[in-house]
């Protein structure tokens, strides 16, 4: 794998260089010390992966990511020292297509061993997101028993259940999510659950950032949460968020061998089993195929399912998989998803 380094701190560049070259098969493609140079280098020699700093002179990491993904797209991982301080820029970069974020050593307090482990783990996982066939996984989760009689007992929708909206996203997801959420009114009667592929150390920052984009409150989903109207819950751990038979949320490590964590498919499967009322499920931009099977199962149960169209996606992977398997009832540009949600919720509220 040919890896480029974009960072304006010489010490960090050298640490990253040593980590990369310590692994057979990993080579340094080039080094740039600001975003503008990175754009130029990438146009001439596109690497397999870029390790992108966030705060740099001339052009920051978010803008460099935007231009690179437009002109010479490749995998990008943000490597930055102050995640909390730069959270807005980080999620802007992820909206443009950055795959993940890794915390780099702070100046004067090097942590090469910690960075070595985390960075190599992240680089190794990048290949997962370009796979075309997900591993087999069990459809049995804590609190579920796949018993048809359970579904039958819940066939009459309790009146207090709000319309449920599930939104799944991966690469490019933060910006797409913000685009949808900011158009929803504060009195929106649906309950929204978001499954975004993001590591646990960044989930709270993402929730805070999304909360600033919409009049609806956005919080991390916690053990025992119920699904309430006028509220947005974001899956917040590296385990899978699922719905239990008592209609509360929990997290589970199973299925262990499913690469997408938290998984959209796993959450949709649990909802299909226990949520008796029809709802709306949306699959936004992202690499891979997570969410397509879940969307199809919900459509079979009468849900309205939407896939983002290719033209408005940063990466047309997950929505494409849903469209190809007939899981999406509608294929819409990102700009039309919020208005469609508002209309649909009024019909089922």
- Judge whether 197 counts as a catalytic residue: yes
- Residue spans of alpha helices (H) in the chain: 10-21, 35-44, 61-71, 87-96, 112-126, 148-153, 173-181, 200-211, 264-274, 292-300, 318-324, 334-348
Residues 6+ apart with CB under 8 A from 256: none
Distance CA 164, CA 169 (A): 17
Catalytic residue among 240, 270, 290, 312: 290
Catalytic residue among 87, 170, 270, 312: 170
Q: Do the beta carbons of residue 81 and residue 104 sit within 8 Å?
A: yes
Distance CA 110, CA 330 (A): 50
What is the sign of the dihedral through the CA atoms of 109, 113, 116 and 121?
negative
Q: Do the beta carbons of residue 58 and residue 52 sit within 8 Å?
A: no
* Alpha-carbon dihedral 206, 51, 124, 131, rounded to 10 degrees: 70
256 burial (CB, 10 Å; 0-12 / 13-18 / 19+) is: exposed
**Coil, strand, or helix at residue 240?**
strand
How does DSSP classify residue 315?
A: S
Q: Do the beta carbons of residue 11 and residue 35 sit within 8 Å?
A: no
**Coil, strand, or helix at residue 13?**
helix
Dig out the tokens for 124 from the structure.
């190794």
Distances (CA, A) of 115 to 8, 56, 107, 315: 18, 20, 13, 28
Q: Which of 220, 185, 214 is nearest to 201 (CA)?
A: 220
Catalytic residue among 103, 104, 197, 240: 197
Catalytic residue positions, numbered:
170, 197, 290
């Amino acid at each position: 794998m040919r890896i480029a380094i974009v960072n304006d701190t010489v010490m960090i560049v050298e640490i990253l260089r040593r980590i990369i070259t310590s692994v057979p098969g990993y080579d340094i493609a080039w080094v740039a010390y600001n975003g503008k140079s990175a754009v130029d280098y990438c146009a001439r020699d596109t690497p397999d992966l870029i390790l992108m700093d966030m705060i740099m002179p001339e052009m920051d990491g978010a803008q460099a990511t935007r231009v690179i993904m437009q002109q010479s797209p490749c995998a990008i991982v943000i490597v930055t020292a102050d995640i909390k301080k730069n959270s807005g820029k980080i999620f802007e970069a992820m909206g443009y297509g950055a795959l993940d974020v890794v915390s780099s050593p702070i100046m004067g307090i090097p942590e090469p061993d910690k960075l070595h482990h985390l960075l190599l783990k992240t680089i190794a996982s990048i290949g997962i997101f370009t796979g075309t066939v997900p591993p087999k996984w069990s459809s049995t989760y804590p609190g579920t028993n796949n018993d048809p009689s359970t579904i039958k007992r819940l066939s009459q929708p309790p009146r207090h259940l709000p319309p449920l909206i599930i939104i799944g996203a991966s690469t490019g997801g933060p910006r797409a999510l913000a685009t949808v959420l900011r158009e929803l009114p504060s009195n929106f009667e649906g309950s929204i659950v978001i499954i975004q592929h993001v590591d646990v150390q960044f989930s709270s920052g993402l929730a805070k950032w999304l909360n600033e984009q919409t009049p609806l409150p956005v919080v991390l989903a916690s053990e025992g949460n119920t699904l309430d109207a006028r509220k947005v819950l974001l899956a917040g751990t590296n385990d899978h968020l699922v719905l239990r038979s008592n209609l509360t949320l929990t997290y589970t490590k199973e299925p262990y061998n499913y690469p997408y964590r938290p998984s959209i498919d796993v959450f949709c499967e649990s909802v299909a089993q226990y949520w008796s009322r029809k709802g709306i499920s949306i699959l936004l931009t992202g690499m891979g195929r997570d969410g397509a099977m879940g969307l199809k199962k919900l459509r079979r149960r009468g849900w309205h399912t939407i896939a983002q169209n290719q033209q408005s996606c940063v990466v047309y992977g997950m929505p494409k998989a849903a469209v190809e398997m007939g899981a999406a009832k509608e294929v819409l540009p990102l700009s039309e998803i919020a208005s469609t949600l508002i209309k649909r919720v009024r019909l089922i509220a």
